Structure 1
């Protein structure tokens, strides 16, 4: 008699390793998207501040679209329409592109708020001391404005890290996708989702605590 093969099996240490590897993929796509998106967002924020009406008519509407349209729709549309223009990107690359633009759109207003937080008298004082425009940005606006909006940026970064779970709709095996695969096989959703939640907490908590310690250090 042939042995009976059971499709479902219990949760094993290899499954935990599988979730751990997926958590690292989540961390990687998040770090890459947040880093590039932050740089672009600061640039766009500077354009919004300096461009005034021109930026309001050009850059601002585009950023509003990426802030307003649900991220999952952006991911699906880009992944399906990119090949039409000759961009044959895999799920990871597509996810990085959209998450980066999405992050930049969120950070842009944060960056503009940081620039506006530095009062005009202070910037005039810097220029009166002989600083150039770019020296003023580097030595006055960036330190003061950056500290003012740092908590908001941390909130954006943590939000994007959690939103990276939506890349699973493209087939990229990050933490949520890995959890879905294991739930289908083991039929143990409570255990697996609890472990996945613990991984998300382990990724996010150090960032929030380090940010809090930086804020305390700056306040001294």
Structure 2
């Protein structure tokens, strides 16, 4: 018979860690998506030459491992700027910029996927740039960008496990704490994986539903 020292209080501790994971992910994805849309539109409108400085900065966030970004940002705010930010705030800031760098590329690809002839036809009918973006680019580009965006959101959720380096007790860190105390690594990691599955499964199903619905239109 399987015996474990895991108590209801320990499960609640893991659930709180999962809650922190969800909150960090939601804040980072929301802010990162807004910034990513802004950066993506700027890159398309200004062209590759004028937007080169912005592209270079975004490439840095895409290229440097997230773990290093978190450590450097925490040291920069604390030691250079003398700002005593909590680990939670630092994690959200870094993850938001990290998300925006990838989201900008997704947005750029979604806009470029809209045929130029379609956009020219819209402008020839008297549509303004804003109307073109709202009525033409947004509906068509979203269909192209949504699967990649959902993949990004799921990736950020899993990458949030790295925020332990700035003293944020999210799901994986909570699991590690219990492993140290209870010495049941396999069982606790299975529970941790189940929590991650419960968080990510609805997002993945939503993406599949939207793709099926749009493909049938």
If the TM-score is normalised by the length of the shorter chain, which range does it land in?
over 0.9
Shift of 1:21: 1.0
TM-score when scaled to structure 1? Answer: 0.94
**Corresponding position: 1:72 with 2:38:** no
Could you list the runs of 5+ residues in structure 1 that have no partner in the other structure? 1-8
How much does 1:90 deviate?
A: 0.3
The 2-side partners of 1:33 and 1:81 are apart by 20
Give the Cα–Cα distance (whole angstroms) in 2 for the partners of residues 51 and 129 of structure 1. 24
| Distance in 2 separating the partners of 1:100 and 1:164 | 11
Question: Could you say which residue in structure 1 is the equivalent of 2:34?
Answer: 39
1:137 is aligned to 133
* Partner of residue 199 from structure 1, selected from 174, 195, 200: 195
**2:150 equivalent among 144, 149, 154:** 154
SS in 2 for 1:10: coil
1:24 and 2:19 aligned: yes
Match of 1:169 in 2: 165
| 1:38-117 aligned within 5 A | 38-52=33-47, 53-56=49-52, 58-83=53-78, 84-117=80-113
Partner of 1:120: 116
CA distance in 1, matches of 2:130, 2:151: 28
Post-superposition Cα deviations, 1:40-94, rounded to whole Å, max 9, x if no partner, equal 00111111111111102x1011000000000000001101111221332100000
Alpha-carbon distance, 1:158 to partner: 0.5
Q: Offset of 1:170 from its aligned partner?
A: 1.1
Q: Which string of whole-angstrom CA distances, capped at 9 and with x for unpartnered residues, describes residues 96-150 of structure 1?
A: 0000000000111110000100111100111122210011001110110111111
Q: Highest CA radius of gyration, 1 or 2?
A: 1
How many equivalent residue pairs?
A: 211
* CA–CA separation in structure 1 for the residues paired with 2:91 and 2:76: 14
